Structure 1
């Protein structure tokens, strides 16, 4: 099949999920004919994505979250205002997406929680089937555990998840652990999508804590804690484009520009990970058996949900601030979940191919669609 990706460009998770699925689908004989990625001012798509996705990449303007300074979390008013004022720009993006789809003529579109996925289906009605993949779709599951007194936020985030997947053929909900699927909701629960590189890493017991932050403004909290505990060795990854590739604050605190290979190698050797409750980072840590302290970005309900789900799944502990003392106190109590997590994760290849290739049978026999390796079940080892 000819498969076109649509990828939300904010954060690292959706980008690495696209890379991982692309690797899997190519091995099965499918062709990734392009990747359309949403970008926004102040956000640079990491170089590792353009290098690893192995196809043409089209950038288009997309909404993003606006953060307060000094790690103050999401600024809801500025975020909404920016989206409204940029509406003409976003309508242009939808036209760009439609032009690309019309030119490429893919057999299937896979959307990684892209903001415009559902709107594109609703407005242009291309007739091309779409599969939507994200951890956020798990929040549509009746068994998902939400923070207390969060009815309004729960409604809003699920409204957004539904809007990204309007008229989609199915939703694949990435999960830390196995939960029964709900086909009546077009909801199939699947393991996380991690890059091949993670399986080649050998966990080591290093002498440092690793920190990954979604926005460099959160570094203020890290520095404040570090000044009180200079004896604890820290390595931090951030998205500060104004800083050098590696910035040594002092002998025990170093900041690194986001670099995929470097980050994974340091994750394999750390004592524990501190992260802003992003799904992908927690999964990688669980695979390697590393304890995690999840710090949801303030006013970021999705991350609050991730943190609760991570604790239930045995990933580690959660905190409202970057008080790394919480992680240090937790480390002796942590139960390594890597064996159980890996068992669930390694079922993913078969599950993803089954879900994606369910569309291949519907295409065979259509005008212009040959019976190739990608649509031949024998060639796929079935």
Structure 2
């Protein structure tokens, strides 16, 4: 079969998922002829993505979250007004997708939770299969447990799910643990899409901690902790464009731009992992048996859901504060869940081929 991917450009997780699924499909004789990535003004497309994808890649303007002036929390009102004001830009992107699809004539489009993909199917109604893929779709499952309150945020996120999955023949919900499918919702629960680079690691536990901050405004908390505990080694990955590839504050604190090989190496040897509550890197930490502290981005309800889901699956602990002391206190109580999690993840290739072919 022939596929086109549409991939959300926010963060790192959707891109690494796309790389893994690209390899599963192409290694089994299928063709991914083109990849469309939603463009974010706040983030450059990581070089590791382009290096590992052997198909044409096109970046298009896509709806994105807007953060506050400190680049920390999601500003819901500005996100809405900014995206509405760019409707002509997004319409041009939809038209560009339509040209690519008509030129490539794929059998199916796989949308890694980019709203642009949903808009394309809503506006153009193409005669092509649509598979919608993301951890966010697990929120559609009847057994998913939501954080208490925040009913408006819940309704908004579920509405986002409907847009991203508009016209989908099948909805694939990535999950930390097995759950039953719900065919009446076209919902299939699938394992995380972890890359072979993760699976072949030989994890160790050295003295350093690994930190990943999607929004670089959280670097202040990292620096504050470092001032209190200057002897604890920390490697922190961030997205601050105007900084060098490696910013060495001193002997025990280094900030890194996203570097796939370096990130995996430091993950496999870290003592613990602190991150905002995205899905992918938490899965990578669980696979390597690393305790995790998850701090949902302020105002980002989806990450609050992720943190609760991951905590229930045994990943670690969650907090409102980006404070490594919380992780230090948690370490003696962490229970290893890596073995069962690895078994679930290792079924991914068969599971995805069963659903997508």
Verify same fold: TM over 0.5: yes
What is the distance in 1 between the residues matched to 2:147 and 2:318? 13
Show the 5 A alignment for 1:230-379.
230-357=230-357
Q: Which residue matches 1:371? A: none
Q: Which residue matches 1:176? A: 176
Q: What do residues 330-349 of structure 1 show as CA deviations (whole Å, max 9, x unaligned)?
A: 00111111101001111111
Instruction: Give how far 1:150 is off.
Output: 2.5
Instruction: Give how far 1:215 is off.
Output: 1.4
Q: What do residues 255-308 of structure 1 show as CA deviations (whole Å, max 9, x unaligned)?
A: 011101110010000000000011001000000000000000000000000000
Q: What do residues 168-216 of structure 1 show as CA deviations (whole Å, max 9, x unaligned)?
A: 1000000000111101101000000011111111101111110001111
Query: Structure 2: which 5+ residue stretches go unaligned?
Result: none
Instruction: Give how far 1:7 is off.
Output: 0.5
Larger deviation, residues 346-355 vs 60-69: 60-69
Q: TM-score, normalised by structure 1?
A: 0.92
Q: What do residues 225-267 of structure 1 show as CA deviations (whole Å, max 9, x unaligned)?
A: 2111212111100111111111011221110111011100100
4+ residue segments displaced more than 4 Å: none
Larger deviation, residues 299-308 vs 113-122: 113-122
Contact kept in structure 2, 1:70 and 1:220, CA below 8 Å: no
Larger deviation, residues 299-308 vs 71-80: 71-80
Give the superposed CA RMSD: 1.0
Larger deviation, residues 27-36 vs 216-225: 216-225
Contact kept in structure 1, 2:63 and 2:116, CA below 8 Å: no
Instruction: Give how far 1:72 is off.
Output: 3.7
Instruction: Give how far 1:71 is off.
Output: 5.1
What is the distance in 2 between the residues matched to 1:309 and 1:163? 23
Q: Which residue matches 2:9? A: 9
What is the distance in 1 between the residues matched to 2:41 and 2:308? 31
Q: Which residue matches 1:116? A: 116
What is the distance in 1 between the residues matched to 2:171 and 2:134? 8
Contact kept in structure 2, 1:71 and 1:221, CA below 8 Å: no
Q: Which residue matches 1:369? A: none
Query: Structure 1: which 5+ residue stretches go unaligned?
Result: 358-382
What is the distance in 2 between the residues matched to 1:347 and 1:150? 35
Return the index of the structure with the highest Cα Rg.
1
Q: Which residue matches 1:78? A: 78
Contact kept in structure 1, 2:315 and 2:337, CA below 8 Å: yes
What is the distance in 1 between the residues matched to 2:71 and 2:223? 12
What is the distance in 2 between the residues matched to 1:212 and 1:127? 40
What is the distance in 2 between the residues matched to 1:81 and 1:123? 21
Instruction: Give how far 1:85 is off.
Output: 2.0
